[in-house]
């Protein structure tokens, strides 16, 4: 199973843990790469050695602060497999920690899910039978009383 497949599988089960972990790690990677590039790591020869096209290397060669961001972003995408592996490792550690301290419950097995379903279904059937028995045994409600007066007028108003 590739890292991407593991990432998707973990996302299906633990999206509420993986998304924040991935976001924090991605921001951290980007900040670290930016400071590496800004501190003097020459990225252009590395990108050329990797055989990347000029459309990727060109913006990195420009001078100024945006070149640092472009270089960091290029490296950020180059190390994507490493980023996914680190995200999977940290997500696994986070899930283990959260389970140990009771913040999330372990995912039940399919057998346990079926037992919970059957138990809930039995409770609903019992409740449904009780409710239908009450309806059968109760008396029908009395008919509503008529509020119209004998004169046919509106109550509370007098004629002049």
Q: Which pLDDT does position 44 carry in this prediction?
A: 77
Alpha-carbon gap, residue 137 to 30, rounded angstroms? 71
Q: Are 29 and 83 in contact (CB under 8 A)?
A: yes
Same domain assignment for residues 39 and 81: yes
Prediction pTM value:
0.59
Query: Taking the C-alpha atoms of 123, 124, 129 and 134 in order, what is their torsion angle to the nearest 10 degrees?
Result: 100
Calculate the CA 123 to chain-centre distance. 31
Same domain assignment for residues 48 and 111: no
Alpha-carbon gap, residue 121 to 87, rounded angstroms? 40
Same domain assignment for residues 88 and 125: no
Q: Which pLDDT does position 86 carry in this prediction?
A: 94
Give the closest residue to 25 by CA, choosing from 70, 72, 87.
87
Runs of H (alpha helix) within the chain: 3-38, 44-49, 54-61, 65-78, 80-100, 110-137
Residue 90's CB: how many other CB atoms inside 10 A? 16
Q: Which pLDDT does position 36 carry in this prediction?
A: 87
Q: What is the mean pLDDT of each run of 10 residues along the chain (160 residues)?
A: 86 91 96 88 78 76 72 86 93 93 82 88 87 74 67 54
Cα distances from 149 to residues 14, 48, 142, 146, in angstroms, run 68, 98, 20, 9
Same domain assignment for residues 118 and 55: no
Same domain assignment for residues 14 and 43: yes
Q: Tell me which residue range forms the domain holding 125.
A: 107-137
Residue 46 CB partners (closer than 8 Å, separation 6+): 75
Same domain assignment for residues 79 and 20: yes
Same domain assignment for residues 68 and 124: no
Tell me whether residue 41 is in a domain.
yes
Q: Which pLDDT does position 29 carry in this prediction?
A: 95
Same domain assignment for residues 43 and 112: no
Q: Which pLDDT does position 63 carry in this prediction?
A: 57
Same domain assignment for residues 82 and 131: no
Q: Are 91 and 18 in contact (CB under 8 A)?
A: yes
Alpha-carbon gap, residue 116 to 107, rounded angstroms? 13
């Amino acid at each position: 199973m590739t890292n991407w497949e593991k990432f998707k599988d973990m996302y299906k089960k633990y999206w509420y843990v993986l998304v924040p972990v991935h976001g924090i790690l991605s921001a951290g990677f980007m900040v670290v790469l930016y400071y590496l590039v800004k501190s003097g790591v020459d990225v252009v020869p590395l990108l050329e050695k990797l055989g990347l096209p000029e459309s990727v290397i060109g913006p990195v060669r420009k001078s100024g602060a945006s070149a640092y961001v472009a270089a960091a972003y290029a490296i950020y995408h180059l190390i994507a497999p490493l980023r996914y592996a680190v995200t999977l490792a940290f997500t696994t550690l986070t899930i283990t920690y959260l389970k140990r301290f009771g913040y999330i419950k372990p995912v039940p097995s399919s057998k346990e899910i079926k037992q919970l379903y059957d138990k809930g279904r039995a409770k609903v059937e019992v409740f449904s039978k009780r409710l239908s028995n009450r309806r059968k045994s109760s008396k029908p409600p009395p008919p509503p009383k008529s509020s119209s007066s004998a004169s046919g007028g509106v109550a509370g108003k007098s004629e002049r």
